[in-house]
Structure 1
Amino acid sequence: MSANPYIPMLGVIVETFDETPDIKTFRVRLKDEEAMARFRFEPGQVAQLSVFGAGESTFVICSPPTRMDFLQFTVMRVGELTHRLHTLRQGDPVGVRAPLGNHFDHQSMKGKDIVFIGGGLGLAPLRTLLLFMLDNRADYGDITLIYGGRSPEHLCFKAELAQWAARGDMRVELTVDNPDKGWSGRTGVVPAVLTELAVSPKNAVAVTCGPPIMIRFTIQALAALGFSDEQIVTTLERRMKCGIGLCGRCNIGDKFVCVDGPVFTQAQLKTLPQEF
């Protein structure tokens, strides 16, 4: 991170492509090649991206630290800042304040089965940990991905989903609420698929991210399957604001999501006021 956490490092967009009608992926390199070579982060950490003249917002770094050709961000167009970000193209500058926040504890997950459960854009933070684990495949047990969206059109990372399904060393279960004529996967909401698959909690960790309603019912389904609160991990980067714990807009009780999070176990969340 830059010496002054208020001052962004200058980045340059090297590639963009559409994931869905309202979600776009940006690949960014720091303009200073020495800074890019020194840059280090952990899966689950986030960045503040600046669109000059428009402002900045928090996005998870959804590429893994094992692949440092660029920093990848996948962004839904939902407000003024993200609308402006979606207009940027290859060669355009952005500001980058990173890395911020804590990260997924991949060290404690070694030797365990990992169940990734995502919905919509919630696959972005899961992607960084999933790719990290695939790049260190021998360190982890069985890997399962359960991922869903409103329709096939609204699934992110479609090419990678096909590649992961074809690997042979992980299980991929895709589901949509509204299938089209060409859809051959499951139909239904993610928590129902999780319950149907009856994933075992034995020596396992479940990592989930998606719309709040999906996360709520996913946690209930995991509990019903026997997962303890310590075995359930999620991320709350949507609540992050300034990124360094000064503005006070991301606090939950005595915790600041941008400093103490965004990654929390369900056990940690249960000790906080139920404000989210």
Structure 2
Amino acid sequence: MTDPKNPYLPEVATILETVQETHNIKTFRVRFDDEAKMKAFTFEPGQVGQLSAPGIGESTFVINSPPTRMDYLQFSVMRAGEVTGMLHGLAAGDKVGVRAPLGKPFPYEAMKGKDIVFVGGGIGMAPLRTLFLFMLDNRADYGDITLLYGARSPADMAFSSELPEWTSRKDVNTVLTIDREAEGWEHRVGLIPNVLLELAPKPENAVAITCGPPIMIKFTLEALKKLNFQDEQIYTTLEKRMKCGIGICGRCNIGSSYVCVDGPVYSYAQLKALPNEL
């Protein structure tokens, strides 16, 4: 929770539990120490938070638990540098700072009544997870829901403990894929954009939301265009571009757009209007 008097001052939280998702992705479930602030805290799917620890620093991560499930706030961290590497050293009982919510959410209200196509790769499932679970918890508000989630190998798939439930649900079409054959794998094999073309979701009254490695997003966008999805029907999120989180430091700008203020959620139409810096 951000302090309105000092937006740089984080709220102290305790790590309740950690989950080692993959060799380099660790999930943290945290709760504010101030119970009154925890009960009063609200956010919307797609908004992010700055996660910090004393002497380590802070970095931006999407809140990937949905606002319909408020026992804790969940952040999934890919180890990629000094800050994330040291965050990976934290365990249940350790203290962290949280500045949240930051940024703009997915336009989930405007998506009501539409068919939803989620396309995630690797850690890119984290920002999709919050909206995906929110929609499942409000299932009657949305049309057909398809989730295509892929990774290089089964060991690289985050949230693996949840995948059996997702694939068994009758009210959502969950498709899992890996890049190449692996022993014991019973789902699809193939690159995400190719599997997307095979699934061929219809663009009529539909919205596609994608997140993953940049090269995956690039070819997923091309696949969606081949399927006749319009730029305004496609959304992604750029939370990794965020720095201070409140649009002051100026390090998140893409042309005239500040990701901290105008994002991190953008439609493809909005991104095409900005300089190609992704």
Preserved contact between residue 51 and residue 81 of structure 1 (Cα < 8 Å): no
Which residue number in structure 1 is paired with residue 238 of structure 2? 236
Q: 1:141 aligns with which of 143, 162, 184?
A: 143
Q: In structure 1, what is the Cα distance between the partners aligned to 2:270 and 2:247?
A: 18
2:219 aligned with 1:217, yes or no?
yes
Look up the match of 2:74. 72
Deviation at 1:72, TM superposition (A): 0.2
Deviation at 1:184, TM superposition (A): 1.1
Letter matched to residue 120 of structure 2 = G
* Whole-angstrom CA distance in 1 between matches of 2:97 and 2:170: 39
Task: Give the SS at the match of 2:260.
Answer: helix
In 2, are the aligned partners of 1:120 and 1:148 still within 8 Å (CA)?
yes
1:195 aligns with 2:197: yes
Please list the CA deviations of residues 108-150 of structure 1 after superposition, one character each: whole Å capped at 9, or x if unmatched: 0000000000000000000000000000000000000001001
1:28-55: per-residue Cα shift (whole Å, max 9, x none)?
Answer: 0001000000000000000001121010
Corresponding letter in the other structure for 2:17? E
Residue identity over aligned pairs, in percent, reads 65
Does the CA-based 8 Å contact 1:152-1:179 persist in structure 2?
no
Aligned to 1:21, what secondary structure does the other structure show?
coil
Find the counterpart in structure 2 of residue 9 from structure 1: 11
SS at match of 2:207: strand
Q: Which consecutive residues of structure 2, in runs of 5 or more, have no partner in the other structure?
A: none
Q: Counterpart of 1:221 in 2: which secondary structure?
A: helix
Letter in 1 for 2:273: T
TM-score (norm 1): 0.99
Tell me the CA shift for residue 167 of structure 1: 1.1
User: Which whole-Å CA distance do the structure 2 matches of 1:22 and 1:13 have between them?
Assistant: 18
Give the alignment of 1:1-276 within 5 angstroms.
1-3=2-4, 4-276=6-278
The separation in 2 between residues aligned to 1:225 and 1:177, in whole angstroms, is 21
Deviation per residue, 1:166-214 (Å, 9 max, x gap): 1110001111013321111111110000011111001100000000010
Please state how far the C-alpha of 1:2 moved relative to its aligned partner.
1.8
CA contact (8 A) 1:152 1:183 kept: yes
**Residue type matched to 1:28 in 2?**
V
AA of the residue aligned to 1:19: E
Write the letter of the residue equivalent to 1:18: Q
Q: TM-score, normalised by structure 2?
A: 0.98
Partner of 2:210: helix, strand, or coil? strand
Q: CA–CA distance in 2 between the matches of 1:22 and 1:89?
A: 15
Give me the whole-angstrom Cα distance separating, in 2, the residues matched to 1:249 and 1:25: 26
Match of 1:244, SS state, is: coil
Q: Could you list the runs of 5+ residues in structure 1 that have no partner in the other structure?
A: none
Letter in 1 for 2:24: D
Size of the alignment, in residue pairs?
Answer: 276
Could you tell me which amino acid in structure 2 is paired with residue 25 of structure 1? T
Cα distance in structure 2, aligned partners of 1:20 and 1:179 = 18
Amino acid at match of 1:268: Q
CA RMSD of superposed structures (Å): 0.7
Aligned partner letter, 1:173:
V
SS in 2 for 1:50: strand
Q: Distance in 2 between matches of 1:178 and 1:241?
A: 35
Letter in 2 for 1:111: G
Amino acid at match of 2:95: P
Q: Secondary structure at the match of 1:134?
A: helix
Q: Runs (4+) of structure 1 moved beyond 6 Å?
A: none
